[in-house]
């Protein structure tokens, strides 16, 4: 994570339906938490005009599962933005157990902004680009 990246945190509940036959949170639930954190960050941080004009779709999820979550665990999803091209925006997320801050999963998701009216990929305002992408670095390949 870039040291100057703004981190957004979202508390996520574990519901009974999230538990699989092995007695822990199903991997699909982590993907939902990654998406929920990104959407919550957008709603909390984006200008209202941009929220009205844009919505985002996932074009790629990459997730590494590190440790299981169990019923009764308190979970947070931490997310921050990565680099962006014209219409592909990278976002990073870590799913943590609150009690010991253990990383349960790490994800890198690529999102595409869509025009709410045309439902086609859309350019974003300078303000959205600045707020929802990090400058490319030699390490990021940008």
What would the pLDDT profile of 83-96 be if each residue is shown by its tens digit? Answer: 999 899 999 999 99
φ and ψ at residue 20, rounded to 5 degrees: -95, -175
CA distances from 15 to 25, 30, 73, 77, 116 (A): 9, 12, 11, 15, 31
How many whole angstroms separate alpha carbon 107 and alpha carbon 92? Answer: 6
Taking residues 96-116, report their average pLDDT: 97
Residues 12-23 have pLDDT tens digits of 999 999 999 999
Least reliable range by pLDDT among 4-8, 53-57, 76-80, 101-105: 4-8
Residue 135: per-residue pLDDT: 79
Under the banding of pLDDT at 50, 70 and 90, the label for residue 142 is very low
Angle at 8 between CA 76 and CA 56, to 5 degrees: 105
Residue 141: per-residue pLDDT: 47
pTM metric for this prediction: 0.89
Q: Quickly name the fold that domain 8-136 has.
A: Thiol Ester Dehydrase; Chain A (3.10.129)
């Amino acid at each position: 994570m870039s040291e100057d990246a703004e981190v957004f945190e979202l508390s996520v509940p574990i519901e009974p339906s999230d538990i699989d036959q092995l007695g822990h949170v199903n991997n699909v639930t982590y993907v939902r938490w990654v998406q929920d954190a990104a959407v919550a960050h957008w709603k909390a941080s984006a200008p209202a005009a941009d929220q009205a004009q844009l919505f985002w779709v996932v074009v790629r999820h990459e997730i590494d599962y590190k440790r299981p979550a169990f019923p009764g665990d308190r979970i947070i999803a931490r997310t921050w933005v990565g680099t962006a091209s014209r219409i592909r925006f990278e976002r990073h997320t870590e799913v943590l157990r609150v009690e010991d801050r253990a990383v349960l999963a790490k994800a890198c998701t690529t999102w595409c902004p869509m025009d709410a009216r045309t439902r086609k990929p859309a350019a974003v305002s300078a303000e959205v680009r600045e707020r929802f992408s990090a400058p490319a670095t030699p390490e990021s390949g940008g």
